[in-house]
Amino acid sequence: MTPPPRRPRRPLPFWRRLSATGWLLLSLVIGLGGGLYYAWVVDPVVFTDASPARFSERYREEYIILVSQSYAVNQNWPLAEQRLAALEDPAIAETVNNLLETAVRQQRPAPLLEQLAVVARQLGAQGQAIALFAPTLPATTVQPTPTPAIVTTPTNTPPPAATATNTAVPTLTPTATTPATATPQPNYRLTEQTRLCRDDEAISRIEVVVLDAFLNDAPGIEVEVTWQNGTDRFFTGLKPENGRGYADFEMSPDVSYTVRLPDGSPEVSGLRIEECASGLSGGWQLTFQNLRNDSPADSEE
């Protein structure tokens, strides 16, 4: 006799095949997923009134910039100092100075550099960038003292006797006059443009020297160089060994450059590397002079 066919065994359910370790891992996964769902969806953490001391480095820098811009407008130093103290930085002066030097290397706008430099100097920091962009602290505003008006007493002088005359009164014909339009004058003038050539060295740079109205070096002046596919900005005084009014720019071959001072100067174009009599490459030196400075007596006041 043949034995009856055996019935196939049904597979065990999933939960009956798990070992103790499997149940433990499954419980951990379910618990972790439920906790994340509750923390992110059901009851997420919402930060309110966070202190600036909790900011990341990027937002701390933005916060310092905003404080410097606010101080430039309201000139309220106690308020600016209170806002900076919220960062809880024991070396806040050094932090602001480092931020200023980074902004100079990044060629940030000149007003931003001046605002950071003023705040850094107010905090007692010292450095080359501070000396360039905030050489003196901002002067306090002096309220003018009202001057009492002088009252004059009229005298009782009899008027002259009126004499009747038959003089015809001329008729005035109004004529339209066009107001004269003043031509704006540049703040700087180009006093010298010379070739830079040496017998023993090839030169491929543009040297810019900026002087004030009294022919003294002028540091912290922005210089703009443009060419067909780009532009660059830098400041005088960052190489004090060459003079506080000195700045330079390295040219590339076969490129024509234009130089100007954004504060107001003539444009000098067509500057390129050219061959000197020695056969070596030569550059250019441009000298600008400020036309709007006050007299020395006024500046001392």
Confidence bin at 206 (pLDDT 50/70/90) = very high
User: Across residues 224-229, what is the average pLDDT?
Assistant: 92
pLDDT above 70 (res 18): no
Query: Model-level pTM greater than 0.75?
Result: no
In whole numbers, what is the pLDDT of the chain averaged over residues?
Answer: 78
pLDDT in the model for residue 177: 52
For 151-195, write each residue's pLDDT tens digit: 444 445 454 544 444 544 445 455 555 555 555 668 898 989 999
Domain ranges in the chain are 52-133, 188-297
For 229-273, write each residue's pLDDT tens digit: 899 998 998 888 888 899 999 999 999 999 999 988 889 999 999
User: Across residues 286-298, what is the average pLDDT?
Assistant: 69
Instruction: Say what the alpha-carbon torsion angle 60, 111, 289, 217 is, to the nearest 10 degrees.
Output: -30
- The CATH number corresponding to 188-297 among 3.20.20.80, 3.40.50.300, 2.60.40.1120, 1.10.10.10 equals 2.60.40.1120
pLDDT in the model for residue 238: 87
User: Across residues 211-217, what is the average pLDDT?
Assistant: 86
